[in-house]
Amino acid sequence: MPNVAAYRKARRLAPRLLDWYAANARDLPWRLTSDPYSIWVSEIMLQQTQVATVIAYWERWMRALPTINKLARAKPAQVLKLWEGLGYYSRARNLQAAAREIVKNHNGQFPRDPAAIRALPGIGRYTAGAISSIAFDLPEPIVDGNVIRILTRIFCIRENPKDKATHEHLWSLAGTLVAKADDCSALNQSLMELGATVCTPRQPDCAACPVTRSCAARRENAIPSIPAKGDRTRYEEKQIDVFIITRGPRYLVQQRPESGVNAGFWEFPNSESGNKYSAPRNGRPFASARHSITRYRIQLNAHLIHAKNGKGTWCTLDELRSLPFSSAHLKLLKRLTRRLDK
């Protein structure tokens, strides 16, 4: 475990990280502002999602809902439509719930106090630290996958970072780093940037790293095994039959309940939602799609069926495009659209 010498070492790293970040930071749109709302939206979107994907979503969101007040007043369907395709949809619902709480309890102004930020729906320790440091330049630490990888390698921490004691040590080290920085915003962003572009999980570019001389794991040839990995996730395979039911130019869709998985989203009738339809015994599916969520890897097989009646809402293709679809069924809608456009 890190000792007093390790914390002294952490203090010396900040100037090198800041100099490197000033010369190498990527040009990302949310880095052009110190507006806490804009930064908050970017941080929530970046959870479980790659930067390249988030850019277009963030820009579209900020055009449609440029302020906390507009987000608070927006219809939930609009919020879900803007989030459509990003997955983990509770993030979007929590954004709106938090916006409404800010309007109610903070006069529509994003709170500056880290404790008040963390009390908002959907904001945990990392996100509160990111917003506090980036938007308000407060010496609040951050620890995410990128920071864990950097710190465990620099200090050659071989224990599993998911262990409680090890995890708290990493937070303490991150706190030491940011506390000694002249620019808390840039320091924390330098850690994110270094982990994303240089100190990567596989084949890190140690020659380009500004703190490579301080990296104990590199000296001990231990980088491939650090950070320590826990048990691999075991995925459960599932197959779902999806029924694309047509009646002339209209298609049958159903809205999910307002609670539970994919709450409020639309989807085609399927074998998991208790529908009476069954897949044809002969013939191949009209389309298939793969989708992963938590511990499930799902194969969706879509079948075209013509029917006069059905439980749900009949929509034209243009109407379907305006509805927020769950990620898995959005893939099938896109395949249907491509087929009809040929």
The catalytic residue positions are 43
Q: Could you tell me the sign of the dihedral formed by the alpha carbons of 135, 33, 21, 130, in that order?
A: positive
Using alpha carbons, select from 128, 126, 129, 130 the residue that is nearest to residue 144: 126
Residue with tokens 């055009």: 63
- Neighbouring CB atoms inside 10 A of 321's CB total 13
Please report, as a single letter, which amino acid is at residue 239. Answer: Q
- Neighbouring CB atoms inside 10 A of 279's CB total 15
Q: Give the Cα separation of 227 and 81 in Å (integer).
A: 37
Buried/exposed 237-263: b ≥16 CB within 10 Å, e otherwise: eeebbbbbbeeeeebbbebbeeeeebb
Q: Could you give the angle at which helices 164-179 and 145-154 cross, rounded to 10 degrees?
A: 90
Which regions of 167-269 does DSSP assign to beta strands (E)?
236-247, 250-255, 266-267
Q: What are the structure tokens assigned to 117, written together?
A: 């930020």
Please report, as a single letter, which amino acid is at residue 240. Answer: I
**Do residues 296 and 87 touch, judged by C-beta distance below 8 A?**
no
- 239: β partners: 299
Using alpha carbons, select from 130, 170, 171 the residue that is nearest to residue 154: 170
Please report, as a single letter, which amino acid is at residue 157. Answer: I
Please report, as a single letter, which amino acid is at residue 328. Answer: A
